[in-house]
Amino acid sequence: MVILCMLDKNNKKIKLWNSDFLRKGDVILAFILRGLFITSLIISIVRGRFDLIPISAVSFILTFIPSILERSIRVSLPASFQVVLLIFIFGAQFLGEIFDYYERFWWWDLLLHGWSGVLLGLVGFILVYILNEASDVGVVMSPFFVAFFAFCFAVTCGVVWEVFEYLMDIIFGTDMQKSGLQDTMGDLIIDTAGALIISVNGFFTLRDKKKNTLNNAISGFMKKNPDMEKRIEDQLHNQSKN
């Protein structure tokens, strides 16, 4: 990770970009986004923009995803991952839907879906990597199948999101699908491309044991969750008894 620093009055370096800095930024950013979405919800009601009300409400709920994940599956997410996720929600929902960036900039939708494909591919990669490392699983997958799982996980999440957009448009009268089928298929193609990039990268990372960004991300996650493999092994062991 690149470290930004400055010098204090004693010429000692003070780190400005580290895990502690990111953790504080993560919390502050979450509160700022929630405030923005609450504000947009109130403005939408006052102005009679009822199509934006469900988008603002759902966006507000999405900002709690990192903390929900940490509590529900008892993991400690890297602060950098949480910051990236919150920025993505801001770009997709606040700028994209509420401020209509999808219509103003033709490439905005492509950028965010490519970004989501990479993020979801990384999540899928970490999940199957943990299972692969747990000794009680009994099956060790090759680098190809680990990468293939990550790819399928990311694409499936992309499909679920498109179903969500369709339901929002049908039930609440929003315009999340924009041009309909063309928008949906374009989004899925970009999601697939992003997932493919991270999966190919992951395949070569595992096969050749390379040290790169993906490897650092997995290592960082495992360091923050040293008991993760043990918990998985215990759960599998208990299930086998039952």
pLDDT digits (tens, 9 = 90+) for 11-65: 444 444 455 555 666 778 888 889 989 998 898 898 888 878 888 888 899 888 8
- pLDDT for 219 beyond 60: yes
C-beta separation of 97 from 176 below 8 A: yes
C-beta separation of 189 from 156 below 8 A: no
The pTM assigned to this predicted structure is: 0.72
Hey, where are the domains in the chain?
A: 18-99, 105-234
User: Whose structure tokens read 């504000």?
Assistant: 39
- Separation of alpha carbons 148 and 30, rounded Å: 33
- Separation of alpha carbons 156 and 170, rounded Å: 21
Question: Which H or E run contains 135?
Answer: none
- Separation of alpha carbons 179 and 165, rounded Å: 12
| Region of poorest pLDDT, from 86-90, 166-170, 208-212, 237-241 | 237-241
Q: What is the pLDDT of residues 179-198, one digit of tens each?
A: 778 888 989 999 999 999 98
**Closest by alpha carbon to 116, among 66, 159, 158?**
158
- Secondary-structure percent of the chain, ordered helix, strand, coil, rounded to 5: 75, 0, 20
Angle at 121 between CA 232 and CA 206, to 5 degrees: 70
